[in-house]
Structures are given as structure tokens and as C-alpha cells.
Structure 1
């Protein structure tokens, strides 16, 4: 347990993975999260699995559970054709290291005792296989994201938070409203994830993908759900919101909408969860 609770995300990040951010302190000697580096695949695998569990627990806190619906995945660092995911029919709040499963692109469980969610396999496996650069992906049947998805349109830049998704998300209309249990449905959805971090699947809900980390994918999912809620609240007033201009939206997206910023946001969630839910690492 003590080994699992260590915080390996404090060493100096390798130059190749570091993203420049206006939030990184210029003053030396201050405590600030840094991206980790790994000596072995085993170290990186443990790191990814721990953060996957934490992302599931964060989804539980946010109330993103809906029966067995919802799946989060992260690619294995040594065997990129395999990915780790939460087990079928286990509540987000009960996901831990010991019940994660390792799955291939055909939906075969190669490690772990639990079954894989068929819909999760169809969507996530298709995206992971079609886009080797995508490291992690998140989907859940949330209240506001699902409601907003029924409108079949993108988010508007009504705030700095929403501007983080400006020109960085798509609306997918393929297979809208139909449960994705056939592999051809997954392939139709996968095509849309070129160069964006999020998608609104019409009549279905929200999906996020990250080329950086499971932490980034999870945080941007939480943020996207929040933005959908805010836009629905604004529209419920009957008044037309003042939109952030395209130029300012792009500026905000660049500085507060990057993969690195998503990872950085998640660090406070990680620290909170490691202290409040140590059973994550059972």
C-alpha cells in the first residue's frame, strides 16, 4: 500500500514531454506538479493504471455513474495494441487496481477476471486502433452532456471555460442514438477524432480523447459536462448570451485548453483522492 501511495509525479519532467504553460512558475524552488519520467515500462504501467483508477473515482464523485454505462481507457505503454479499462458492471466508486482489465482491439480480455463492456469495447477499441497517437479516452452517460447532445450542435464560446473547446470538439451524427454494439458503428465514430480532444455524439453523450494522458482525458470530460450544463442554464433564461470572440476564444484555448493544462488540473483531484480514498490501490 505504501508503495502505491507514493507520488511519482514530482521529478523533473523530460524536455520532450514538457508543455510550456503560463502557469508554470518562473521562481525556483516552489512546489509545482511536474510530469513524471519512467525508468521502466512497469513503472509507467503502474502510473497509468493508478491514474485510470483515480479518474474512475473522480467520475463517481461527479455523479457520472449510470448503471454499467461508462468506460475509461488508457493504452498500455509497452504493448500499445492493448488498453486498460474499468470492468463491466462495477461502479466507478468501486474500481481499484486489482479489478482493472487489459483488453485487445478485438475485445478479448488478456488480463483480469472481469468482462469488458461491449459498447465500451466497440467505441474505444475503434478509436485506439484508428489513432495510434491517442493514449486515453473517456465516456459516460451524464445528465447534462446527454441532454445537450440531443440538440446536435457544438458548444458556443459563452465563457473562458467553454472557449477551451473552441474549434477543438466535433459533433458526431453517425449512429446517433443507436447503442454501439457492432464494430462498424465504432469505426464510424472513430473517424471523427482526428486532431480534437472531445466529441458530442448526437443523442448519446460526450466523449473525450487525449494524446497525453488519462488525466487530461478525464479532466476535459469533467469540464465538457460542466460546460454543457452551463450552456443549458444560460439558454433556459431565454436571453441570448454574449459570445467570446473567435480571436479571444482561440487565445483562451491555447492557454487553458491544452492537454498539459488538462493534466495539470487533474493533479489536485489526484492529490485529494490519494488522501481520501486509499482503497483505490487495493
Structure 2
């Protein structure tokens, strides 16, 4: 295993466990993946039906999107292969993919008008920066469906999947984590604003665009957020394991 793959395993395992801590998991469903090879076809993904809180660097699967035999493995979920396999096969520029069903983002995805209206600085991050899927047809279990979703994503980083959930993509796992964290907060603000029943004060297109560009200029903020969250998780897990008399968590590795 290369140092590059090891670090990806560490970061992806941390991402799963952080999302579990934040309550954005869906039982033992949903999947995150990270491209390992320069071509993107070799990627890491969570094994079938394992809770996010139980994901470690070691139990992540290493798959090849160009190898049909990997789709037949008992520990590979069909929807994971259909969606993530197609993305990593067709989009080598995408290095991290998170697909999940967080409460508030999915709530917005179920509205007739699923736009994330720019009502504050957080929602403005997504101004004209989300693709939409309005043709939910059941479980995404085929490569054809995965290819359709890749096509809908287009030049955007996020796909709001109508009546389903959301998919975010990024160049790093840290950026993807910060994106889904902020997207869920944005949708939380919007749902709560809708719930008042009072008119929304929507930012002008000019201000919303300026704010979105401001967000795009601070990817180091996203990475710093992820690194800080990893430190918090590491400290919490180390304390818990010490109290239980178990083995300490190795520095930043999330391997046990």
C-alpha cells in the first residue's frame, strides 16, 4: 500500500465516522468513495451494509471501475457500484464522492421547487451551483442509471437528487466533507425559514454570486475544517477507548 492510498483510507474512514457523529447516516446504506489511481478508475468505498461509525481504514474496499468482476463481490452493494463505479470510470477529475440522505437536504430535494434560495451567506454558497435530478425511478442499481446521474452532474460539483437525497463531489475528501456539512446547514436554514410561513428576504443575484465566488476562493477553509474535525474525533475516540481499556487510536489513522 502506498502512502497516498493509506492517507486516503485514513481520511475516508474519518469522513464516515464524522458523518455518523453528525447524524447524517442512513442505517447501513449510502456510500462514500475516493479515487486512488491517477486515472480515477481504482477507488476506495465502504463495504456493503456496514454502519458508518464502524468504518475503518482497513475495511474500506479497493475496487476497479473497469473490472466487471468487482461488481459481483458479496461485499459490494449494487447501488454503490452503479453510482460510484460510473463516476470514477467516467470522471477522473472527480476524486471524492459522497452520496447520502441527510434530513434537511433531502427535505429540500422533495419539494416541487428544490432550489436552495440564497437567503444568507451559507445558502448563497450554492447559488447556481447545483444540478438537479427530477426523474427518480427507484433504487439506482444499474450502470445505466449511474451513467445518467453522471450526465446530470455535468460541470457541477453537487447533484440534488429529487425524492432521494444528494451527491457531492470534490477534488479532496476534506473539501467534500465540508461541502456536505455546509449544504446540510444551508438546507436547515432554508427549511426553518420556510416553516415560519413569512416571506423570505432573498439576496440579489449579484450579491449571491459574489458570495458564492467568495466561498470558492477558500478551499483551504474547507480542508482546515476537516482537519480540525478529525482532531476532535480522534480525541473523543481515544478517550472512549482508554476508558474501555482498549487499544489507543493511532495518531490520525482511524484504523481501529
TM-score by length of 2: 0.86
| Residue 79 of structure 1: how far off its partner (Å) | 6.2
| Residue 123 of structure 1: how far off its partner (Å) | 1.0
Quick one: distance in 1 between partners of 2:125 and 2:68?
Answer: 33
Residue 129 of structure 2 corresponds to residue 168 of structure 1: yes
Q: Of residues 45, 57, 68 in structure 2, which corresponds to 1:85?
A: 45
Quick one: distance in 1 between partners of 2:225 and 2:156?
Answer: 19
Residue 40 of structure 2 corresponds to residue 66 of structure 1: no
8 A Cα contact 2:117 2:123, kept in partner: yes
Counterpart of 1:250 in structure 2 is: 209
| Residue 230 of structure 1: how far off its partner (Å) | 1.5
Counterpart of 1:144 in structure 2 is: 104
Structure 1: which 5+ runs fail to align?
1-40
Residue 192 of structure 2 corresponds to residue 233 of structure 1: yes
Aligned length: 238
Counterpart of 1:281 in structure 2 is: 255
Residue 21 of structure 2 corresponds to residue 47 of structure 1: no
Quick one: distance in 1 between partners of 2:34 and 2:237?
Answer: 21
Q: What pairs with 1:105-124 in structure 2 (closer than 5 Å)?
A: 105=65, 106=67, 108-109=69-70, 115-124=75-84
Residue 240 of structure 2 corresponds to residue 266 of structure 1: no
| Residue 226 of structure 1: how far off its partner (Å) | 1.7
Quick one: distance in 2 between partners of 1:231 and 1:184?
Answer: 33
Quick one: distance in 1 between partners of 2:127 and 2:203?
Answer: 10
Structure 2: which 5+ runs fail to align?
239-248
| Residue 264 of structure 1: how far off its partner (Å) | 2.8
Residue 97 of structure 1 aligns to a residue whose secondary structure is: coil
Quick one: distance in 2 between partners of 1:56 and 1:267?
Answer: 14
| Residue 261 of structure 1: how far off its partner (Å) | 3.5
| Residue 108 of structure 1: how far off its partner (Å) | 4.4
Quick one: distance in 2 between partners of 1:94 and 1:163?
Answer: 34
Deviation string 1:164-185 (CA, Å, 9 cap, x unpaired) is 11121111123x1511011111
* CA RMSD between the two structures: 2.1
Deviation string 1:70-100 (CA, Å, 9 cap, x unpaired) is 1100000456311101111111111011111
8 A Cα contact 2:38 2:92, kept in partner: no
Counterpart of 1:181 in structure 2 is: 141
Counterpart of 2:241 in structure 1 is: none
Deviation string 1:193-222 (CA, Å, 9 cap, x unpaired) is 222221110000111001x20111122112
Quick one: distance in 2 between partners of 1:218 and 1:169?
Answer: 16
